[in-house]
Structure 1
């Protein structure tokens, strides 16, 4: 069963990107499978060893390291250009709309990232949760609809778990009904927004949820004054306005379209979800403490709050963790479960927790974090396709960039049969998450999100020229950064490495050694010179 193979997990200390089946399971496709499996098996070993070494190495990102003269992503240039709280407030008109359609805002983020103090306010704009042209009143409406949809997803998660426990003769999960515990209420955060990037009917895939449908139909009758007729959840969701994103490039989720096969059987659907639940809990408990410690409120959470949050999502076996880690893990479980229902075509795959963890650390409200994650996964979801077509496409782009920029290096890679660039597979899957510190990672992601937001908003070459920004926005800035990372090592690769395995080890040993702003400068130079040729 594809879903079970997809959700299989290792017992290592940290979660890892999605891995292929072992060689004996991957022998069915005779073409190119042996080389692919060999590479992926190397990545498993390299990933775990790299993670452990990076966690035990001196803190490159600490303020003390910067004061001692070590290279830091927070250079003086970075501090001058960062989008500050004052600049952020001045970007808005009196009605709450961004000036210039958000062009100056995106330019500022592209140049230097976002001040940590305002990240929770800025990220929803970067990730398409808010339209760049939205007013404050429009965003308030979006917030209310957003929270309602997230709460529906969480109720569905609890109902599925209760059905499973009922079949097994166990007590209903958490001992709670759908409305007895408001998970996001722990942080007392304001309501969070929604951005409908996909067909909202995608998360109503479970045919055995008639009870929940009845409950939500009654809610719609009470809460929706503008409704012309009594609607089911699917019809109610269809009334939510779509964002400004060009949806033609994004696949629509339907009731029957799934890489895992037929969802018409409730038993198969439930089993898929229960498998995801199990793997999600394992991965959530393995989150790196470095990421959690960047959230002051989570660091200060009490044992009682952490236990309550864990109980609400059925999280167990966490006695070895501090309260802040338990709380962070519980929030991740809630959000990843909801996403598995929202995007049942993708479900859950290892590596997603790596992408969600920074968002949970920054966004203190679960609904807010969920919809930011949905926006992030708009493109990242292609990294978790079972056929890995999305990964292969991106590796081809990296290879093409290197070929266009440095023919000498590319010919050397060809000689080593490494021109397919599989040695940067991990960088592509989890977007440099394993190679960079927390601060470096979110800085890179912010710049990347700003590029993608500019593309969605239709801000083209002429607009960027008017604000004196050389490199045009691109959906593939990450791939240019990965190519830049390889090009920075060109001399070492050409003169010393005689196999792809050696290059792979070099790439997996870069953790904590990269200057993210130099990397971005080089990536933008590549965009300027090669954008029209890639």
Structure 2
């Protein structure tokens, strides 16, 4: 699935060759800027050397390396499982293998439940047309026959069935420039993971954009159950963004924080934007919902995510997840050794005794982008369409490393000004 090659002088080309792009799509995808660099990027050799004889991971050393240069493609899946909290670095190899097997069994059980309701689950195929109507009646002309007795009054079952065709429609649009998704079995793997996640997390259900979060996990992790659990842990960080009702969207809380940040770090630009859209910052919804997937090439987006997760890493994430995916930052004096186990961004939050939501770094990323477009927005944006056009122009032109550097700079400025 993934081509294993060594890092050499032509490193940028090598990065793209792990996730080959269909020839006809080459001109339409953003340029890839990420280059694996010897001595900076976390390599397979460095990764293996970070474990002791029992399999416990030196997370502090790993975080430093990732923050400097990302993760090499040969080990991304394994590293992501730690960054997202699937495994505790203090666990042994034996303990992790036991947990992995337990999770695989749980996934297989959920998949079997889903398959008993809709037999196409796990078949290597998927649906793109509705299976049932809003009135819980089977759709007769659908090529996938759903027994009438299955279309019962159970709200969970009905809502789940209603979501399956939308997942299918989104699956065929997901990363379609990649050769990987030319294979229907790979598309079906993505559909299965999303369908089963939707069955398990029926409180949120399926919302467009989840496919963009899930796709890299499906590509990076060969075992479908492992990909599911990696996605499930990623969703713990951002799932509230996808919660919505008739009057509000979950991502609005982050838009509110973005507005607050801009009010502090750049009052003039904030006032200008507020006058254009009532201070809603709605132009930033997509960036926050799918964590800049559309603004970067596939390779650069993966690099951006892993560096963000490394910067946000909190060793307490294994014990103190709250129901909303946030965690408490305890404002106590920690030793330097303990602080090294936190990511660069989270370390500053801990030192300042702040309690922040997961993935708040994404808010500072958006703020950083706004700052780089400050003059253009102030001089040329006369309405929302102008803002959308200026922000849309960043696609393919952003450098992920520079964007992260700018985000940390804005974060530091915000903490300083907020404190004063």
TM superposition shift of 1:395: 0.6
TM superposition shift of 1:416: 2.5
TM superposition shift of 1:342: 1.3
Stretch deviating more after TM superposition (364-373 or 80-89):
80-89
Return the alpha-carbon distance in structure 2 between the equivalents of residues 350 and 466 of structure 1: 37
1:67-466 aligned at under 5 Å gives the runs: 72-74=33-35, 80-99=39-58, 102-162=59-119, 266-290=153-177, 292-293=178-179, 298=180, 322=182, 324=183, 326-387=184-245, 388-454=248-314, 456-457=316-317, 462-463=336-337
What runs of 5+ residues in structure 2 fail to find an aligned partner?
A: 1-24, 121-130, 318-328, 350-357
From the superposition, tell whether residues 462 and 527 of structure 1 become closer, same or farther in structure 2 (CA, over 3 Å). farther
Return the alpha-carbon distance in structure 2 between the equivalents of residues 277 and 515 of structure 1: 36
TM-score normalized by structure 2? Answer: 0.75
Return the alpha-carbon distance in structure 1 between the equivalents of residues 396 and 98 of structure 2: 42
Return the alpha-carbon distance in structure 2 between the equivalents of residues 518 and 168 of structure 1: 52
Contact 2:241 2:250 in 1 (8 A): yes
Return the alpha-carbon distance in structure 2 between the equivalents of residues 521 and 289 of structure 1: 30
Stretch deviating more after TM superposition (382-391 or 465-474):
465-474
1:16-35 aligned at under 5 Å gives the runs: none
What runs of 5+ residues in structure 1 fail to find an aligned partner?
A: 1-54, 63-71, 176-207, 210-264, 300-321
Contact 2:55 2:92 in 1 (8 A): yes
Contact 1:103 1:454 in 2 (8 A): no
1:516 aligns with 2:400: yes
TM superposition shift of 1:168: 5.5
Return the alpha-carbon distance in structure 2 between the equivalents of residues 375 and 114 of structure 1: 19
TM superposition shift of 1:61: 3.1
Structure 1 residues 478-529: Cα deviation after superposition (integer angstroms, max 9, x where no partner): 1111110111100101112111221122212322111111000111122233
From the superposition, tell whether residues 510 and 384 of structure 1 become closer, same or farther in structure 2 (CA, over 3 Å). same
Return the alpha-carbon distance in structure 1 between the equivalents of residues 378 and 368 of structure 2: 15
Return the alpha-carbon distance in structure 2 between the equivalents of residues 158 and 95 of structure 1: 39
TM-score normalized by structure 1? Answer: 0.60
Aligned to 1:61: 31
Aligned to 2:363: 479
TM superposition shift of 1:411: 2.4
Aligned to 1:527: 411
Contact 2:276 2:382 in 1 (8 A): yes
Return the alpha-carbon distance in structure 2 between the equivalents of residues 505 and 82 of structure 1: 34
Q: Report the aligned-residue RMSD.
A: 3.1
Contact 1:106 1:454 in 2 (8 A): no
Return the alpha-carbon distance in structure 2 between the equivalents of residues 142 and 467 of structure 1: 23
Larger Rg: 1
Return the alpha-carbon distance in structure 2 between the equivalents of residues 382 and 412 of structure 1: 29
Return the alpha-carbon distance in structure 1 between the equivalents of residues 97 and 26 of structure 2: 44
Contact 1:480 1:526 in 2 (8 A): yes
Contact 1:97 1:132 in 2 (8 A): yes
SS at match of 2:204: coil
SS at match of 1:416: helix
SS at match of 1:424: helix
Return the alpha-carbon distance in structure 2 between the equivalents of residues 469 and 273 of structure 1: 37
Return the alpha-carbon distance in structure 2 between the equivalents of residues 518 and 381 of structure 1: 27
Contact 1:431 1:478 in 2 (8 A): yes
